[in-house]
Structure 1
């Protein structure tokens, strides 16, 4: 493996600042020069970069061509994409031609189904990999009402979210016993009543697909996974969400086995994340993200340097047996810092 590596992040989350630190603090003494682009010249993701540029707002192949030109110009060895991963995967041969390794799943059919959650849920049918929640896809108010009533009749509390959203965007829980006055004086809430949701949705003829589904009231887990270039699982660490900012790295054999089944079936390379939530004793799938998760820096407290090991395996380095430390309770605090303005 090279001792000096040019590495590029495009329009990442703020936590990529922490992943850059993990890459630099690697046990092999590999030196990284880290490049980044983002439309916001003072975005936190650029603060950990050695070199950054303001990224133009482009779509489709034009955006991919911009990325390829950036990689060529700066002799990028490894590109870790977040934005437009599907477009990048569809044109990954353009990066191959200039010698840039891209940490992306090349199975574009799988990537597309992971974006549209109902497609992926359907692909799991009959495979025995994991349980999925009861759900229906709707795009008008009458179908929303019917789906809600069927789920309630089946004994479920109901929630809904956009079918192709990322993270918690658009997620709402239907609660018809809300105290609106208390909410007005309290924190912003994800709760809504059926009547409020229905009235809003009925204000238009159709809307983008919503997934109306059973609410899973148990513990939520993010399973951070590391695979080699072929998608063979190297390690998986379940991270349980507790109250507030508390997280627990838990040696949950049931979830680790699910991670193994996901890897054996879909062969997702490098870093990926499985989000699950319990209903009683049964863990059910929320979503799978074919990238580093927003909380991966917490999981790295297990002693596994997930970002660095993904890059190492992409560059042909040997990754030996991995033994995560479990039973760790973790949290985080804010820290002030002076910002760099990359527009200057």
Structure 2
């Protein structure tokens, strides 16, 4: 069994996790990225530089690459590829290639911050006040329904790309226009073509402490566990330092989300806790940047995924974690071996 990581980027640790998981079965880890200097490529057993996800040739390239290299599992690692791959997974599965991705409705919702908050509100989760226009925000502001500061960001965004904090109305108007320009010119222009006029979102700044959740289901969408991490440091929109904790409210929140989404594998959720009130900010139905903290605490989701694919029993402790594990990310130098 061979495994392919798409949009591998800088996630060298994901390559290593899957290499260890598949080694007992004689498999190898392949990696794709559109940039040959992506560090994770050079950690993989084999790699290829691929077309961009929105290139018309991408789907055929991916299918041919999988068949040529006896790939049986595709693990996507980048938000914007998830909707594209969700539309391909039925075709691939008919050819014995499993793509670890949720249903199309889930990937489209999770990539769209406005749809995410609507989904959460529909299912009675506490949500973040959001606005798609300056006019809507100003109306609420004048009625004392919201106050500054607020965040201005792309509606279809990721990480900290084009994220700004506005302290007053003058700054808000400036950042709103700036984000719209950056969206039009940058890498997010493809997603934003769906509704460019509503491609910028204004979000309230949430109170309380931020937590990251790894919400794990098996490949059939059955709930397994929620790993709770208290975020202690952030860098470029990604968790940089965290400690694992036990928290009943957040664990139950994860279980409720899992029962609704029925996703395979992992959902990475960002949650703010203010007293006993948990506000869900974002959902990422993939291995997120916070997963290594769960792995360091004893979880081995790559091993579980390989076992599920091979129809091998997964011991309960494979997805359990140790409380109080504080870890942080470092920087690793990678050499090219052309």
TM-score range (shorter-chain normalised) is 0.7 to 0.9
Q: Specify the SS of the correspondent of 1:99.
A: coil
- Give the equivalent residue in structure 2 for 1:157: 149
Q: Deviations over 1:206-240 (max 9, x none)?
A: 74522212101422111012211121121211111
- Residue 229 of structure 1 corresponds to 219
Describe the shift of the 1:335–1:237 C-alpha distance in structure 2 as closer, same or farther (beyond 3 A): same
CA distance in 2, matches of 1:59, 1:99: 24
- 2:113 aligned with 1:123, yes or no? no
Cα distance, 1:100–1:200 mapped onto 2, change above 3 Å: closer
Equivalent residues in 2 for 1:20-99, closer than 5 Å: 20-26=15-21, 29-57=24-52, 59=54, 62-83=57-78, 84-99=81-96
Query: Quick one: which of 220, 228, 232 aligns to 1:238?
Result: 228
Specify the alignment match of 2:256 in structure 1: 261
Which structure has the highest helix share of the two? Answer: 2
Q: Which has the larger displacement, 254-263 or 301-310?
A: 301-310
Per the TM alignment, residue 121 of structure 1 is displaced from its structure 2 partner at its CA by: 1.8
- Tell me, in whole angstroms, the C-alpha distance in 2 between the residues paired with 1:77 and 1:70: 11
- Whole-Å Cα distance in 1 between the matches of residues 297 and 181 of structure 2? 49
Change (3 A) 1:280 1:151: farther
1:222-260 Cα offsets, whole Å, 9 max, x none, are 101221112112121111111464311111111111000
Runs of 4+ in 1 over 6 A off after TM superposition: 201-204
Corresponding residue number in structure 2 for 1:186: none
Kept in 2: contact 1:228–1:314 (CA 8 A): no
Q: Secondary structure at the match of 2:316?
A: coil
Question: Residues 14 and 252 of structure 1: is their aligned pair in 2 closer, same or farther, counting only changes over 3 Å?
Answer: same
Q: Does 1:327 align with 2:324?
A: yes
The whole-number CA distance in structure 1 between the counterparts of 2:149 and 2:274 is 11
Give how far 1:194 is off: 3.0
Task: Show the counterpart of 2:171.
Answer: 193
Unaligned runs of 5+ in 2: 183-195, 235-239
Which of residues 273, 283, 286 in structure 2 aligns to 1:291?
A: 286
146, 162, 172: which one aligns with 1:170: 162
Residue 191 of structure 2 corresponds to which residue in structure 1?
A: none
> What are structure 1's unaligned runs of at least 5 residues?
178-191
With structure 1 as the length reference, what TM-score do the two structures score? 0.82
Between the aligned partners of 2:250 and 2:143, the Cα distance in structure 1 is 26
Match of 2:14 among 14, 19, 40: 19
Contact 1:36 1:51 in 2 (8 A): yes
- Measure the CA separation in 2 of the matches of 1:53 and 1:243: 33
Task: Look up the SS of the partner of 2:64 in the other structure.
Answer: helix
* Offset from partner CA, 1:28-87 (integer Å, 9 cap, x none): 833331111212112112022111111123526631111111101111111112352212
Relative distance call for 1:313 and 1:280 in structure 2 (3 A) is same
3-state DSSP class of the match of 1:109?
helix
User: Residue 210 of structure 1 corresponds to which residue in structure 2?
Assistant: 200
1:295 Cα offset (Å):
2.3
Measured on the aligned residues, the alpha-carbon RMSD in Å equals 2.8
Q: How do 1:274-289 residues align onto structure 2 when only pairs under 5 Å count?
A: 274-289=269-284
